[in-house]
Amino acid sequence: MTNVGAQGAVGSELAIRVRGLRKSFGDVRALDGVDLDVAPGTVLGLLGPNGAGKTTVVRVMATLLKPDAGDVCVAGLDAVREATALRKQIGLAGQYAAIDENLTGLENLVMVGRLYGMARARATQRGRELLERFELTDAAGRPAKTYSGGMRRRLDLGAALVAKPPVLFLDEPTTGLDPRSRLDVWKTIEELVAEGTTVLLTTQYLDEADRLADTIAVIDQGRVIANGTPDELKDRVGGERLEVRLSTPGEAPVAARALARMSDEAPLVEGDAVTAGVRKRNGVIVEAVRRLDEAGVEVDDITLRRPTLDDVFLALTGRVAEVTEDDENEEAAA
Amino acid sequence: MSRLVTDTMVVAERNLVRITRAPDLLLAFTVQPVMFVLLFVYVFGGAIIIPQTYDGYAEFLLPGIIVQNIAFGGFVTALGLNEDLHKGLIDRFRSLPMARPAVLAGRTLADVATNTLSVLVLLVTGLIIGFSFDASPLEILAGFGLLLLFGYAFSWVFALLGLIVSSPEAANSLGFIAVFPLTFISSAFVPVESMPAALQWFAEINPFTILVDAMRALWVDQPAGNTVWGAVAWSLAILAVFAPLAVSRYRRAAGH
């Protein structure tokens, strides 16, 4: 957490510093003034719905895309003017395992190593180290097309690490993986961060961000709409979540009405579950049970929990819709 | 510059190793062209009237069909690059500190190796069914060099195609639409004089005709005029136009 405090203080020591990043594709404004700070050796989780601009941010930082405007500084290098030098400092692993399926695991890593400028012997040695680390040694001599999804993703991650880059971009590194493989990838990322690597991670899984990220930036419609530590973001949503599971799903609207007076916002109905944000903790369950009983609703389960990042996300992206309307009004007025 | 050479060799090696892993790809370079030779010589050949100066249809056809085949050799580049684009490999390459043109230069260089292989396979087939050289060893070698140069230039056309189209299937059909008429409306399979006037006009300025005539001059001693130099000039011109276009497209290439 000390890193987070240091972040704002000394700009030049940041591993990633983005100011006023803009990028349009034709008429579509993909990024509309993004600011980001990532301290060395920390993980920034970039969250956002599909099409929010997460991948565009990563592509600009990884020198794959030129921004229309703004400053992008990674590992002390400008992503546009010093792109060539920057490519030696970064590793990229994308949503798709970017490996050659017809090459073996070792051949893939050796190829990447040599393209980083290593001699064949050095690249082979590094390749073997990485295969060992990712528990792929047994499969080292097999074409990658015989690998499982999890093995491919580990090999892809290995390819991103060949040059031991101080900054790593991971674009949805666990999308489509089974739970076991996800845990493996998480463990690896945690080890890398412990060794001092700075990671920028985009993800659609909020539990992933909660576990890995030191700071989180929520991005929607090309803008950062919130950032902070996971705890800060949860506190911002505020209060506790009362979750009621009903015996009869059909009674959910009745239950929602019964609980409405305990909450500042309208309770959320999802199938047989009703969720309501409540201000205080004491006596909430007793009061809820009483109200539901009076309404004649039969309860299967009732719990009180802290907000999760899902709640944060819902609350934030819900608010964005209003902000956008205001924007449009302003544009119309101008 | 040395970086460009090293990186190009690494990429070329990758593309050649791939072929040994997917042997079905080899069928495209070997069995398919042989099929075409047999089809033309034994099915169509008897019905095609060729100039008296040729010693049978096989002698007329072989330089032509080798040229057609070398034009199609670059297809692997179009398909492979498009696949790399969709699988995110191009993104990876572009994020590496490697020489920018190396991904394309390595790919097209690997085509030279596969083109050499298919020229040899076709030549052996030709020699078996009645083709024979009427040329000095130097002319035979010059013919080889010219074929590979033209094939290399054409690989860059396919490189650009592979980077532009939306899918390997599209690369396949667009490439076919472009290359098929070019090779058939030429002197490769029939004498140009046998075509209707409009096609004749096109066939005579078609670079494929110029190349095929050049190959016939070098390998079976037919009158060529300036076609050998014409074919070299065409190859260099295609290279000069399409290599920069393809590299510039690669610099801006976006996967997915």
Smallest Cβ–Cβ distance between B88 and the set A98, A102, A112 belongs to A98
Whether residues A59 and A124 fall in one domain: yes
Q: A249: domain range?
A: 239-306
Min mean pLDDT across A229-233, A310-314, B208-212 is at A310-314
Whether residues A28 and A86 fall in one domain: yes
Nearest to A75 by CA among A190, A209, A200: A200
Q: Is residue A10 part of a domain?
A: yes
Report chain B residues whose CB lies below 8 A from the CB of A103. Answer: 14, 17-18, 21
Question: Which structure tokens are listed for B44?
Answer: 């169509």
pLDDT computed for residue A67 by the predictor: 93
State the Cα–Cα distance between residues B203 and A240, nearest whole angstrom: 80
Q: Is residue A301 part of a domain?
A: yes
pLDDT (mean) for A6-10? 40
pLDDT computed for residue A2 by the predictor: 40
pLDDT computed for residue A4 by the predictor: 41
Whether residues A212 and A245 fall in one domain: no
> Between chains, do A99 and B89 touch, taking CB under 8 Å as contact?
yes
Q: Which residue has the tokens 């390749």?
A: A127
pLDDT computed for residue B78 by the predictor: 92
Beta strands A28-38 and A16-25, pairing class: antiparallel
Q: B52: domain range?
A: 2-252
State the total domains in chain A.
Answer: 2
The total of other beta-carbon atoms located within 10 Å of residue A260's CB is 14
The contacts of residue B234 (CB under 8 Å, 6+ apart) are B150, B153, B207, B210, B211
Report chain A residues whose CB lies below 8 A from the CB of B21. Answer: 102-103, 143
Q: Is residue A322 part of a domain?
A: no
The distance of A112 to chain B (nearest Cα, Å) reads 8
Interface probe, candidates A58, A74, A102, chain B, greatest B C-beta count within 10 A: A102
Q: A4 to each of A7, A16, A73, A224, B60, how far by Cα in Å?
A: 5, 13, 18, 17, 77
State the total domains in chain B.
Answer: 1
Q: Is residue A321 part of a domain?
A: no
Whether residues A197 and A251 fall in one domain: no
State the Cα–Cα distance between residues A202 and A47, nearest whole angstrom: 6
* DSSP 3-state of A288: helix
Report chain B residues whose CB lies below 8 A from the CB of A107. Answer: 14, 17
Whether residues A177 and A49 fall in one domain: yes
Give the torsion through C-alpha atoms of A113, A114, A116, A121, to 10 deg. 70
Query: Which residue in chain A is spatially nearest to B98 when comparing CA positions?
Result: A115
> Between chains, do A98 and B96 touch, taking CB under 8 Å as contact?
no
Mind listing the pLDDT tens digit for each residue in A140-152?
Answer: 999 999 999 889 9
pLDDT (mean) for A304-314? 78
pLDDT (mean) for A14-33? 92
Q: Which residues of A touch B (CB under 8 A)?
A: 59, 62-65, 84-85, 87-88, 90, 92, 94-100, 102-103, 107, 111-112, 114-117, 143, 159
Whether residues A111 and A254 fall in one domain: no
Mean model confidence pLDDT for chain A:
85
Whether residues A76 and A177 fall in one domain: yes
Q: Is residue A130 part of a domain?
A: yes
Whether residues A219 and A258 fall in one domain: no
CA-based R_g, chain B, Å: 19
Position A112 pLDDT exceeds 90 = yes
pLDDT computed for residue A315 by the predictor: 74
pLDDT computed for residue A232 by the predictor: 85
Position A320 pLDDT exceeds 70 = no
pLDDT computed for residue A272 by the predictor: 84
> Between chains, do A102 and B3 touch, taking CB under 8 Å as contact?
no
Q: A295: which DSSP letter? A: T
Nearest to A63 by CA among B226, B126, B252, B13: B252
A276 membership: H or E segment, kind and range: strand A273-278
Smallest Cβ–Cβ distance between B92 and the set A65, A84, A159 belongs to A159
CATH of residue A256's domain is 3.30.70.100
pLDDT (mean) for A270-287? 82
> Between chains, do A102 and B21 touch, taking CB under 8 Å as contact?
yes
- Which ipTM value was assigned to this complex? 0.88
Using the Cα atoms of residue A309, residue A314, residue A317 and residue A319 in order, give the sign of their dihedral: negative
CATH of residue A119's domain is 3.40.50.300
Smallest Cβ–Cβ distance between A87 and the set B14, B22, B96 belongs to B96
Interface probe, candidates A88, A90, A100, chain B, greatest B C-beta count within 10 A: A100
pLDDT computed for residue A195 by the predictor: 93
Q: What percent of chain A has pLDDT over 70?
A: 91
Whether residues A31 and A115 fall in one domain: yes
> Between chains, do A92 and B6 touch, taking CB under 8 Å as contact?
no
**Is B143 or A328 the better-scoring residue by pLDDT?**
B143
Min mean pLDDT across A21-25, A186-190, A267-271, B56-60 is at A267-271
The contacts of residue B209 (CB under 8 Å, 6+ apart) are B186, B187, B188, B192, B203
pLDDT computed for residue A7 by the predictor: 40
> Between chains, do B94 and A64 touch, taking CB under 8 Å as contact?
yes
Question: Which structure tokens are listed for A322?
Answer: 């209003």
Whether residues A29 and A164 fall in one domain: yes
pLDDT computed for residue A37 by the predictor: 94
Out of A215, A234, A253, pick the residue that ends a domain: A234
> Between chains, do A100 and B89 touch, taking CB under 8 Å as contact?
yes
Question: Which structure tokens are listed for B82?
Answer: 């498009």
Bridge partners (DSSP) of residue A220 are: A223
Whether residues A53 and A101 fall in one domain: yes
> Between chains, do A102 and B17 touch, taking CB under 8 Å as contact?
yes
pLDDT band with cut points at 50, 70 and 90 for residue A71: very high
Name the burial class of residue A194, with classes exposed (0-12), middle (13-18) and buried (19+) by CB atoms within 10 angstroms of its CB.
exposed
pLDDT (mean) for A270-292? 83
Whether residues A74 and A200 fall in one domain: yes
Mind listing the pLDDT tens digit for each residue in A85-95?
Answer: 999 999 999 77
pLDDT computed for residue A326 by the predictor: 36
Name the burial class of residue A332, with classes exposed (0-12), middle (13-18) and buried (19+) by CB atoms within 10 angstroms of its CB.
exposed
Position A137 pLDDT exceeds 90 = yes
Out of A234, A265, A283, pick the residue that ends a domain: A234
pLDDT computed for residue A318 by the predictor: 61
With both helix axes pointing from N to C terminus, report the angle between A149-160 and A120-133 in degrees, rounded to the nearest 10. 130
Position A58 pLDDT exceeds 50 = yes
Ranges of chain B with pLDDT below 70: 1, 224-225, 254-256
pLDDT computed for residue A1 by the predictor: 38
pLDDT computed for residue B47 by the predictor: 86
Question: How many pairs of residues across A and B have Cβ atoms under 8 Å apart?
Answer: 75
